[in-house]
Amino acid sequence: MEIITERITVATRGNSDVVNLTDRIAAFIRAHRLQTGNVMIFVSGSTASVSTTEYEPGLIKDIPEAMDRIAPRSHRYHHDDTWHDGNGHAHVRATVLGPSLTVPFDGGELLLGTWQQIILLDFDTRPRSREVVIQAIGK
């Protein structure tokens, strides 16, 4: 078993931007000639998350709309009282979804469902350059 770690930078637009990471994760598995194991994807930062979805235009609209209902931007957040940065909603949204995801792979391929992709969600109020850690344990 081998543990391989890389960091990639992902440019986002903020404001519930959804970025498809699937191809980059699959390329990582191929580049290291890994066949079987697990890959963990982790976003550094407290206003972004990693998850899976069907990456299609309707859901790319639905996800931010759902997040608006769960943690509305217009709500008063104590975080904003403390830091005056207006992104309390982004922290709550990121906490609900979480910063990481683990996906198994076999035969050198991610074991995702037919329509399932790995996504980064950036909930902050402005464009960001996000560091994403990719770590595989496998052979």
What pLDDT shows up at residue 2? 95
3-state secondary structure 36-79: CEEEEEEECCCCEEEEEECCCHHHHHHHHHHHHHHCCCCCCCHH
Q: Which two tokens stand for residue 57?
A: 């235009």
Q: Does residue 104 contact residue 40 with C-beta atoms inside 8 Å?
A: no
Note whether 129 and 11 are within 8 A (CB): yes
| Tens of pLDDT, residues 28-82 | 999 999 999 999 999 999 999 999 999 999 999 999 999 999 999 999 999 999 9
Structural domains of the chain, with CATH = 2-138 (2.60.120.460)
Across the chain, mean pLDDT equals: 97
* Confidence at residue 18, expressed as pLDDT on a 0 to 100 scale: 98
**Single pTM value for the model:** 0.95
Q: What is the mean pLDDT of residues 21-25?
A: 98
